[in-house]
Every structure is written in structure tokens, then in C-alpha cells.
Structure 1
Amino acid sequence: MERLGKTFLFDELDKSIQQAAFDEASAHTRDVPRTLECMHWLAESNYEIHFSPSSEMSERIIFPVSPNESNGIEDARFVRFVEDDGSVIYYATYTAYNGRVILPQLIETTDFLNFHVLTLNGRAVQNKGMALFPRRIDGRYVMLTRQDDEDLFLSFSDNPHFWSDSVLLEEPQQPWEFVKLGNCGSPIETEAGWLVLTHGVGPMRKYCIGAILLDLHDPARVIGRLKEPLLRPEGNEREGYVPNVVYSCGSLVHNGQLILPYGISDTASSIVRIELSELLAALI
């Protein structure tokens, strides 16, 4: 890799990898081909997308670009992130899927014209459904994660691209979430605490949406939770490509109401409005 400068294009990296593979094959060195393959795979997963300023917002669609996304870009969780200096950047975590394995990814943009797509790295990056808090807490980035496909975890980092530390946040407690527990998007900051919408999977793979409340200063401390689902599939919502499911990747507060878009059995979508004060009262 010494052939490359401090900055280089993908084609230059590709040629360097091919040359390194040829050199190592001649030297009969073991394990190097796999390392070079991983380097190429990682490079393909980090790229940029640029849209014309004259384009309409509705025309700016991010399609799969890398082979790791060949079967889909799934469950993007967008968040408006405010840095300590007041500057704003929009992040989105999503799952790249190639039909065999998943790859957790991160989108970054400040203007919704130029998008940087990067790979998430580290021990805490092991599963789907990561969701970033909208600001740093005690100087660190904080992310909702799932490490074991059952429980909800909290991860901390000094760099949004690398995640090593994680702690158990919440385990399934109610029958409607006994199979596994995950998040429904980035936490929302309220005066009462961090509002986290969750999804719980229960008997017959039924997906419901619930809620927990985290301490504002110590988000690893759960200070409230709903015993019953906030939203569950009813009537025609139980029918679809993946039946018996309501699911969301994010919500927002507007005029004192929680605006919650949600998917219905991977077939349709809807929006529900919930009085925020009533929800917080039920959580506390």
C-alpha cells in the first residue's frame, strides 16, 4: 500500500490491491489474499453521492451502490444531530444487505445534496437497528444498539464511525416483547428524559411498538416504561408480506404531539399522532 499517497481514488486502490495480490501470490504468503479481499470489500462500502442543487428533494433518492447493498438498503434511522458548537449534521444508520450477510452503515449530510456513506466499525457494531442520540452526552456520542438479537444495549464513542463499548440497557419484560426487543429510531429529548420508542416481538412473531424513558444525564438508567404496547397490529394491519407487524424507524415532536410514521406488515405505511404529555405521564 506504500504505492498510494495520502489521498487516492478507488481505481488507484484497486490497482494497488491487485498488484499486492500478485506480489504475495508469487511469495506464497498465506492469509494475505483474504486481507486484500477485505480491504477491497471495505473500500467499496465507503462512497459519496452528490445531487444537483436544482433537483427537487423528492428526486434525491439513494439507491444501492456497492455490492454489499445489492439486496437492499434497509431501515434507515435519520437524526438531526447538534454538535456542542451549535453546528448541525444529519446522520442515518442503515443496514446494507447482499442476500447473505448484513453490514451496518452510516450516512452523513449537512445539506441533503452531498451524502457521505461510511462503514460503522468496532466490537459494538454487531447487529441491525443502531440509532444515534441527537447530541453528545458528557462529550461522547451515544448509540442504541443490539448485541445479542434479544436485548437493547447502549454504546458510547468519541468517534461516530467507531464503537467499542456497550452496556445492557433493557431486557424484554412483557409477554408482547419476550422474543426480542429493539428500537424504533433515535431517542427524542424531552424535559422528562430521553423518549425511546421500542419494538417488541412476541408470540407468533407479532411486532408491537412500545416506549421507555431514559434519564437525561445518565441514559443508561431507565426511569420509565410502558407495560402495554403503544401501538399493535390490528385488523387489516395484520395482513401483508410480513404479517402481524407494525414497525417504525423514527418519529418527531410537533406542536406538543408525537408524530409517528410506521410500516404495516411490510406492505403499507401510516402515521399516528400521540399527545406527548399523555405519553410522558404514562411513562413516569
Structure 2
Amino acid sequence: MLDLFTHALRLHADPSRVVVRPFHIAWAGPRMGPSRTERLVREVLAMSPGQARTQLEVVLKDFEARHWQTRRVFMTRYDEIEQQLGLDGSKIGDEKRQLIGAYFCHEYSYAAAALMNPSVVPHHDQSGMPPGAQRIVMSMRAVGEGHISSVAFREGIITDDNELTLAPEPPFATAADAVGGDDELPVGPVTVYRHRDSTLSGTVIFPVTDQQSKGLEDLRLVEFTHDDGVKEWIGTYTAYNGSAIQSELMRTKDFRAFDLVPMTGSASRNKGMALFPRKVGGKYMMIGRQDGENVFIISSDTLENWDEGDLLLRPHYPWELVQMGNCGPPIETDEGWILLTHGVGAMRKYSIGAALLDLDDPTKVIGRTKEPILAAADQDREGYVPNVVYTCGATRIGDRLFIPYGIADSSIGFAFVEIRKLLDLM
């Protein structure tokens, strides 16, 4: 197995990390007569000023110290309800408006069950970085109530001597959310917005459409460079509604507005798609797993539509005989594209390996590792799903790869590997 440097830092699930997010009460069932939103607002408006004040004081006593700018969050949520129902806010006092907002919010522990399957990209702001250091953005799959997955972020800095420092999590997290009505679940493309006063490390993206209702799973981020040189951060993820999966894109240029866009085509009905960081031969390229067993490569004229591709890698070595898949977007080097892969062997033990693809024609495999570069060690075997190591994307920092990886579907660890040593294995 490759000699790599494993950082001592570990990130774990934390039930104390809670966020106030919109409570779309009308999504819970079919509409019969006046909407539940209208009925609830009518009930609050019918309260006397004293009753409304008392109820708001109870809410603030329970929650104001647990969340950031709670009153402003309630007022922002009220503004959305006002716009939806056409209310005249000038005739409604501040206390009733805050109370209405509170009824349409709820507290959610977004990482109570697990924190896992990270991906990492260069940060969009590299100002002030010393030579050899790089600022990064890491996405994580956070699993909370109802085993629903959302996307959380951490920012950090990596130095040239393998030192990793993550920016502190703010004491209060905030939810990115779509702007729109409450009486029906959105479908199709949607844009969610980071709160204007929130850091990226304190932002969580939750499911907002019907297809995503049970989770946003395994975001694979990549810094994508378009033909005109413009950079965009694009992630592929699995949207799950409890019975069906659909691959979708997350697109952002500033990590403040995030477009969540369903993909079309036969390949998009599978999970685990990973986008190349630029076009190759005039085509968008994607790594996929169409049959749940082998690794495929797919090309397309658009970012949104992906049909069947060509077989690229099939299980060959003992540690990957059950199935294979990618571990994030390919990474460009002078020697070719480094593709991290995962393999499943006996006793459903997961390991991470790598393959090298031709730079101009990535359908050609130049080499692959005969042994894993990372596998579940003794201290990494226990958790929600034992014997699993898994990453959704590494990044190149100078002559090294930085690999954040999920451990037993429960926590996150970090490793560094020298690219030259990795290439020598292939």
C-alpha cells in the first residue's frame, strides 16, 4: 500500500449543530379548502396584542440564545409569507409578524447522525495566500433527522508542509433556501441563496424539490474552467425522494447563489457521476457507473444531458471484485488524468485506488494501482457502516494530492499523497 501522510484531524457528527430553516407546512399534505398557510396566519392575526406578545416571548426564551439573529430570521420568513399571501404588513405589528415567521420556521439538527463523503476544491478567493499554500472549500454530506442528507461546507487553508487548518465553524449555522411559495413543493431547476450575513462554513443546503425530498447525497465538486477561461464551481450529486434517484448539478460562481439543476438523459438515472474540470476534445466529459459494478466514461455536448457511455474500468484486483466506482472528478497532471476509484472486496470492505487516463483521450487507460492507496485501518473501521473509506473528490496542491475521505459513513479524515509516488505505482 502507498505510503501516505494521514492528518490527525477528524470531523465527527454533532447533534448540537442546529439550524433554523423554513418550515414549509403546506408541503406535508394535499390542499383542502383554504391553505394551511392562510389558516395559520389568520389564527395569529386574530390574537390580541397581549396574546401575541406572550407567545412570542415563549418562543424567544426557548430559541433566541440557540440561534443567530433569531428575530431577523423570523422577520425574513414573515416577509416571504407576506409576499405569498399579499398581506399588508403596515397594518400588522412587529410582534405578530415575528410570531408568524416563527410558525413557519423549525429547528433542525443537520449532522446528528453522520458527517461523511467529502469533496474539496480550490477556494474562489486565494488572496493573501503565501507561496505553496492554498485556501480550500470542502463539501460534506451531513445526515440528520429522518436520515435526510444535506450539503454542509468548511473552508480551510493547506500549507506546503501538509498542515491543514479549518476555519472555525460559527456558533450558529444558517440554511440556504429557495425564494418562492409555500403551498407547493418546487420541481425542476431551483436556485438557493446563502444568507447575506452567513459565512460559507456556517451554511447548509437542504433538499427543496420533490425529487430531493429525502436527500442531497455525495456532492462531487470540481473547479470547472469554461472555453472562455471563466471559472465555475460545479458539483454533481444524487437527489433522492425515497424511492427513486436522479443525478443533478449544483452550479455556483460565488458560493452565494447555488443553481440546483436536474440532469437529463439515460445516464442521469444513476448515481456517482463526476465531471472533468474542463472540456476534452470539445466535449464535456463525465465519469459514471451505469451498471452499479463498472466504471464508465461519458461525453456530451451540454452540461445537462448525459446518455450512455463507454466501459472504462472493470473490477480486476481482489480488493475491488464486488464493484467499482469513481471517487470524484479526474485531476489533471502532465502525465494524464488521475482518477481516484473505490473498490469493494470481501466482507464489503471499501478501499480507494487510482487509475491514470490519457490526457487527450481519457477513454484510454494508461495504468492503475494494483493495491489500494487507502483502506479501512483498525481505527477507521467502526461506525454506521463499518469498513468503509470513501471520498467524493480530492484536489491537487503543488506536487501532492489532498484527499478528504469518509470513514465508516460516520466521520471524515484527511490524507496527503505525493503525485510522483502515486504515478510510480501505476
TM-score by length of 1: 0.83
Query: Match of 1:23?
Result: none
Shift of 1:209: 0.3
Question: CA-atom RMSD, angstroms?
Answer: 1.5
Q: Does 1:157 align with 2:293?
A: no
Listed as ranges, the matches of 1:110-259 within 5 Å are: 110-259=253-402
> What is the one-letter code of the residue matched to 1:103?
Q
Number of equivalences:
243
Tell whether the 8 Å contact from 2:233 to 2:252 is kept in structure 1 after alignment.
Answer: yes
State the distance in 2 between where 1:54 and 1:232 align.
40
> Offset of 1:237 from its aligned partner?
1.1
SS of 1:150's equivalent?
A: coil
TM-score, scaled relative to structure 2: 0.56
Task: Report deviation, 1:198.
Answer: 0.1
5+ unaligned residues in a row in structure 1: which ranges? Answer: 1-40
User: Are the counterparts in 2 of residues 213 and 222 from structure 1 also a CA contact under 8 Å?
Assistant: yes
Instruction: Give the deviation of 1:53 after TM superposition.
Output: 4.2
Moved over 4 A (4+): none
Tell whether 2:214 aligns with 1:71: yes
Aligned AA (1:260): I
CA 114–135 in structure 1, closer or farther in 2 if over 3 Å, else same:
same
How far is 1:45 from its partner? 3.6
AA of the residue aligned to 1:248: T
**Bigger Rg, structure 1 or 2:** 2
DSSP 3-state at the match of 2:319: helix
In structure 2, give the amino acid aligned to 1:166: G
Residue pair 2:330, 2:339 contacting (<8 A) in 1 also: yes
Q: Structure 2 unaligned runs (5+)?
A: 1-183
Identity %: 48
- 1:67-95 CA deviation, whole Å, 9 max, x = no partner? 32222111000000001111111110001
CA contact (8 A) 2:186 2:210 kept: no
Q: CA deviation at 1:137?
A: 0.6
Q: Partner residue of 1:261?
A: 404
Task: Note the C-alpha offset of 1:43.
Answer: 6.2
1:100 Cα deviation from its structure 2 partner? 1.6
Conserved? CA contact 1:157–1:165, under 8 Å: no
The change in CA–CA distance for 1:239 and 1:52 in structure 2 (over 3 A counts) is closer
2:251 aligns with one of 81, 91, 108: 108
Q: Structure with the greater relative contact order (CA < 8 A, sep ≥ 6): 1 or 2?
A: 2
**Residue 380 of structure 2 aligns to a residue in which SS?**
helix
